[in-house]
Amino acid sequence: MSIKIKKINMLKKIFNLILSPIYRLIVYQLKIDYFTDDLIRLGKRNDGGYVVMKSSLDKYSNLISFGLAGDVSFEKDFQLHSDCNCSCFDPSINELPEIVKSTTFFKLGIDSSNHGEYINLDKVLELSKISNDRKLFLKMDIEGYEWNVLNDQKCFDVLKKFDQVVFELHIKYLLGKSKYLLPIELVRRLFILKKLRKHFYFYNVHANNVCGYINFRTFIFPQVVEISMINRNCHYDKLDNINQPNDPKLGDIQKFIKNQ
């Protein structure tokens, strides 16, 4: 290993040690607070699946899904348990990789405002022809852009209409911003997590082990996590080993706080 690489690694280690208090605060916000064994994993094995509450699936009238690329395995499995309508959004593809029943595809992405190929959550509900009295399920995997949505109060108010939400949360992705802004972004994301917890119960949290993590003495800080949550207004009651590693060649990560 060259001296330059050693210096870079040392600087990264020092930087992470400085940020470790905020990392720890974020990890404590990732705890599960709604324990249930009424769970099923939908989607293909390893990367691409999400854990959801099983018994409630047939109650949903609409599934909204953001971020598909070449994988609609979650949407197909969801439709096996539900007769709902499905609206899929992804600006990076021209059509779905395969047919999914009762599904409409939009070559559009989600953002905090309407611009170009991107629309906000209000427009999503309008295009999907969804009224306020519908039972709604949301899946979102949009590679870090979820922070734009979660940070916008109007979008967040629409998000609160959904009964269940599963998404991949890219905690350290800066999307082109300077790495020196990371401390500010982490604090902002900590407050977003706290706001989420006011309106939703977290019932499953699982690290994407492909995307890296930082191993501290008393806790693990995952850079990307999959979160399943249910609206606190819903009334549906222990987690089992239902998750799968995104890469089966790597060790799985689900427990972030050590010695507990």
Can you give the CATH number for the domain in which 192 is found? 3.40.50
Token pair 């170009």 is at which residue? 116
What tens digit of pLDDT does each residue of 178-232 get?
Answer: 888 999 999 999 999 999 999 999 999 999 999 999 999 999 999 999 999 999 9
**Distance (Å, rounded) from C-alpha 245 to C-alpha 183?**
29
**Which tokens hold the place of 52?**
């959801």
Examine residue 126 and state whether it is found in any structural domain, yes or no: yes
Q: Which domain holds residue 40?
A: 3-231
Domain-located, residue 238: no
- C-alpha 54/C-alpha 236 separation (Å) is 11
Q: Considering its fold, how many domains does the chain have in total?
A: 1
Compute the distance between CA of residue 205 and CA of residue 220 in angstroms, rounded to an integer. 13
Other CB atoms within 10 A of residue 194 CB: 12
Helix axis angle, 3-29 to 182-199, nearest 10°: 20
Q: Is 176 helix (H, G, I), strand (E, B) or coil?
A: coil
Instruction: Report if residue 111 sits inside a domain.
Output: yes
pTM listed for this prediction = 0.87
Residue range 23-62, pLDDT digits in tens: 999 999 999 988 888 999 999 998 889 999 998 899 999 9
100 domain-assigned:
yes
Cα 94 to Cα 88, 90, 107, 198: the distances in Å are 12, 8, 6, 37
The reply to whether 71 falls in a domain is: yes
Task: Report CA-CA distances (Å) from 63 to 44, 88, 114.
Answer: 18, 8, 21
Domain-embedded: residue 24: yes
For residue 42, tell me if it sits in a domain: yes
Q: Are strands 85-89 and 103-106 parallel, antiparallel or unpaired?
A: parallel
With respect to residue 245, please indicate whether it lies within any of the assigned structural domains: no
